[in-house]
Structure 1
Amino acid sequence: MGVEVSRLSNGLTVATETLPHIETVALGVWVKSGSRNEREDEHGIAHLLEHMAFKGTGSRSAWDIASQIEDVGGEINAATSVETTSFYARVLRDDMPLAIDLLADILTDSKFDAEELEREQHVIMQEIGAAHDTPDDIVFDRFTETAFRHQTIGRSILGTPETVKSFSAQQIHDFMARQYGADRMVVVAAGAVTHDEFVREVEKRLGAFRPNAPGLPPASANYVGGDFREDRDLMDAQIVLGFEGRAYHVRDFYASQLLSMILGGGMSSRLFQEVRERRGLCYSVYAFHWGFSDTGVFGVHAATGREDIAELVPVLLSELQKTGELIKIEELNRARAQYRAGLMMSSESAASRASQIARQIMLFGRPISKEELMDRLSGITIERLTDLSTRLFSTRPTIAAVGPVGTLAPFEDILGLLASPQPHVRKMAG
């Protein structure tokens, strides 16, 4: 049957996909507002709002919200990202109306009680402390802060202890009123659901939600790159090396996804084989490409011991530069197969499918079929990938390193390696 989409009179988009042989429904409300939409004095408020939404409404206590969904064996949760916030549930097919009612209640009638707020602020401060004590988490925060210095897109989603403690219930209400409107929201269900019934339930509970969110869109991102190092007395070092990537909407977005798979998308990838298997320079290495609405980052994460840091980065740079010279057809075909398999596997999960549909509607204005995605991938050639690689890895790099990083080459030397011809890079790495 495919994805069906309707729009309510207030502008709220509602989409469903019926998945045969599934007895559950995954559903949620996705809002096109995240940490990037915060003002300078609101660092962490989007994430705090996500927590506080479950702490009581005008008609339900925090206990009521938790117990009512679990009384029917369901699950309810939420998540905050840089550009979106989602509130979602999974229930048996007959309990879909209850799940919609709960989600609508927390979005329309949350109280943000002062005592609950104080407790949740304390919880988030513990979360911030735990992240800081986890090097393979904190290194990514430092990476984005360095790549997008002094911009909301680069700030940690969690906020800081100082900012989180400063927020009042009124500030959370104001942020929600400014950022949450039907024009920025998508309600999606996948699994054992019929479209007309779901639309009716959403209309009952969210049909009167405010049509527009008056908040201004976030400022345009400006990738700057740079260098961050935190020397800690640890057994291993966490290193992220990155470059300016591609936004969701640009031509090279899917090519960038395939390039990340070729470089570090599995055990057969170039980085895994060269850096881990052949040279034994790290115990973990992979590549990634993150797209945002107007920018992106392409990066490599590696975890290594103190004695291998000096050699590791030149070898990483060497492997990146090689992709600008040669990519084999079997590598491209393998990356396409990995992407297709991942797409198919995730589509067998109702929760993953609902999330995919919501993201596509928010980013592209419509759901994109698996066939269309595969057509886009099939049009990507080796020539496009090698050209993209040359352009990506000529941008100013971003380095973030946490751990015993004293032997990591100076940033200026890394810049020099990037500017050097390929054979020289290999020589320095050896």
Structure 2
Amino acid sequence: MARRYYTSYRRLARLKGPCVKETISYKNIIRNLPQIEISKLSNGLTIGTQGRASAHATLGLYVNAGPRYESAEEHGITHFFEHIAFQSTKTRSKTELRSAMSSAGAYFNSFTTREMTVYFTQCLSPDVPQILGILFECIFNNKLEYTIIEAQKHILSLEIQEYEKNYSDILFDYLHMSAFQGTPLEQSVLGPCDNVTTFNSKLLSRILYQRFTPRNMVVTAIGGVEHNEIVELSNKYLSKMVHVERDEVAQCRYTGADLRYRNDDQPMAHVAVAMEGPSYCHADYNVMTLAKEVVGGWDKAQLGGLAHGSSVARAASHNICDSYKSFYLAYKDTALWGAYFVGSRLGLDDMVSVLQYEWMNLCNMITEEQLDRAKNQLKTKWLSTSESTVRTSHRVGRSLLYRGCHLPVFKGIDVIENITVQDVKSVCYKYLYDKCPVVAATGPTETLTDYARLRSGTYWLRL
């Protein structure tokens, strides 16, 4: 058997030559990937595409819309339109629209964040013109039918009730309410039930007219697509749209605060502790993304907690908590950088101490070994993301919407590899050291660290 393998290898070597003997660097592979092509229509609409040798494609529309741009009366309207968008249009009934979608085998979806709403679809490459036309028709030529609006109000009310049972989602709403109190960014995506009952076609039409405008939107197409074809289709459907000037969005103000909802009936406590970080558009964004990877994440389902590369995970595996994860919620002009953990009432104080020690370690004593591990994790995530047309579409759409440009993956990896230990120390010192944290907690929280002690844990005394 061994001889047979040996002979096969020698034959392969004669056929392939250098291809067998030389190891191809992943950097060379990603540098040769198709690049993102960007165009802008005369009305300000931005279009970004990446053509691939693929039989399918992901098409997306990214809009500067969401709770951050909503008044108190409008709160929740952007998410509500998600429920209306794929129901009917002015030229197709609900049945006809569903038939057109299903006959092409396309998958339509949408989601809304605090400052962006996204509508995207996956389809076969030959069907791109048809599906992109349906996507645009659903959004910009929607019938806003009364019966559908009333039916979706009831569905959304039930969704809000179910949402309030999700401890994790509610906790992050509490975190934003504390950190950005008195500013639009404190508003949740779903909005209150009282608002849902007042939504109507007139309000929806106004929101679409004011916010779904060319300069506030990005169209993406990733996969088996041609850039010029996408530009022509976008021009065909959206060139007559005009930009509507609107009031400037209010700047968000960060406030160090503490919000705890003690509920001893919950089986576990859910806690989030965060600091204000650099925005998505800031030069320090990549460094803080790398710092997040140093802290990492862990849960009891993972094996090898005691041998984990992260010191926080090693400590957490001693029954301090059930799970934890670091997070970095970056917005246009601000961010929340921190950690979320779930645990029993007896380990909350210890877990906070472990996290704060690691944060101070980032500011003062991070090692090359820790940094290299974090770099490898981050590069792996970016490379795996780049293989998915959906994830690539979301990354390109957000980047073009927020920054007006896109950084290729290979350049992003070069940036990460050039970050030094001193870079991490200085940037983390700027955002984490001796700063006021924001805390949100729900569940049996009686042993959670007092805010005064939390604040004092953001610096180390030196002699």
Confirm or deny: 8 A CA contact 2:323 2:343 kept in the other structure.
yes
- Alpha-carbon separation, structure 2, partners of 1:209 and 1:93: 27
Query: In the alignment, is the contact (CA less than 8 A) between 2:360 and 2:460 conserved in 1?
Result: no
1:148-201 Cα shifts (integer Å, max 9, x gaps): 112211211110111122222211111111111111111110101111222222
Unaligned runs of 5+ in 2: 1-33, 299-307
Deviation at 1:236, TM superposition (A): 0.5
Q: Equivalent residue for 1:219?
A: 250
In structure 1, the residue matched to 2:380 is 341
Give the Cα–Cα distance (whole angstroms) in 1 for the partners of residues 294 and 246 of structure 2: 40
CA drift of 1:140 comes to 0.8
Pick aligned residue for 1:387 from 426, 430, 442: 426
- The answer on whether the counterparts of 1:262 and 1:270 sit within 8 Å (CA) in structure 2 is no
Please give the alpha-carbon distance, in whole angstroms, between the structure 2 residues aligned to 1:399 and 1:422.
26
Question: How big is the alpha-carbon RMSD for the aligned residues of Structure 1 and Structure 2?
Answer: 1.8
CA–CA distance in structure 1, aligned partners of residues 199 and 446 of structure 2: 39
**Partner of 1:79 in structure 2?**
111
How many Å apart are 1:419 and its aligned residue? 4.7
The equivalent of 1:19 in structure 2 is 52
- Please, which of 18, 39, 46 is the counterpart of residue 6 of structure 1? 39
User: What is aligned with 1:428?
Assistant: none
Give 1:418 shift: 3.1
Using the TM superposition, give the Cα deviation of residue 110 of structure 1 relative to its aligned residue in structure 2, in angstroms: 1.1
Partner in structure 2 of residue 284 of structure 1 = 323
Deviates more, 1:135-144 or 1:8-17: 8-17
Q: Which is further off, 32-41 or 58-67?
A: 58-67
Q: In the alignment, is the contact (CA less than 8 A) between 2:360 and 2:459 conserved in 1? A: no
- Determine if contact 1:261/1:269 at 8 Å carries over to the other structure: no
Q: TM-score, normalised by structure 1?
A: 0.93
Q: CA separation of 1:49/1:412 partners in 2, compared to 1, >3 Å: closer, same or farther? A: same
Residue 449 (structure 2) aligns with: 409
Q: CA deviation at 1:89?
A: 0.5
2:319 pairs with 1:273: no
User: Match of 2:458, SS?
Assistant: helix
Q: Which residue in the other structure is 2:440 paired with?
A: 400
- 1:42 corresponds to which letter in structure 2? E
TM-score by length of 2: 0.87
Inter-CA distance 354–292: structure 2 relative to 1 (3 Å threshold): same
Deviation for aligned residue 1:127? 1.6
Whether 2:192 is the aligned partner of 1:160: answer yes
2:197 match: secondary structure: helix
Q: Residue in 1 aligned with 2:204?
A: 172
Q: Match for residue 427 of structure 1?
A: none
Letter in 1 for 2:454: I
SS in structure 1 of the partner of residue 363 of structure 2: coil
Higher-Rg structure is 2
In 2, Cα distance between equivalents of 1:94 and 1:120: 33
Q: Secondary structure at the match of 1:188?
A: strand
2:276 corresponding residue in structure 1: 244
Q: CA deviation at 1:359?
A: 1.4
Cα deviation, 1:97-155, whole Å, max 9, x if unaligned, reads 12111111122211222221122122222221112111122111111111111221121
**Displacement of 1:243:** 0.6
After TM superposition, give the deviation of residue 219 of structure 1 in Å: 0.6
The aligned amino acid for 2:447 is: T
Q: 1:55 maps to which residue?
A: 87
For residue 126 of structure 1, what is the aligned residue in structure 2?
158
Matched, 1:368 2:407: yes
SS of residue matched to 1:374: helix
What does residue 426 of structure 1 align with?
none
Partner amino acid, structure 2, of 1:400: A
CA shift in 2, pair 1:213/1:265, >3 Å: farther
Separation in structure 1 between the aligned mates of residue 183 and residue 218 of structure 2, nearest angstrom:
27
Aligned-residue offset at 1:42: 1.3
How many residues align? The count is 419
| CA pair 100-314 structure 1, distance change in 2 beyond 3 A | same
AA paired with 2:108? I
What SS does structure 2 have at the residue aligned with 1:272?
helix
* Residues 1:207 and 2:239 aligned together: yes
CA contact (8 A) 2:76 2:191 kept: yes
Match of residue 100, structure 2, among 62, 68, 71: 68
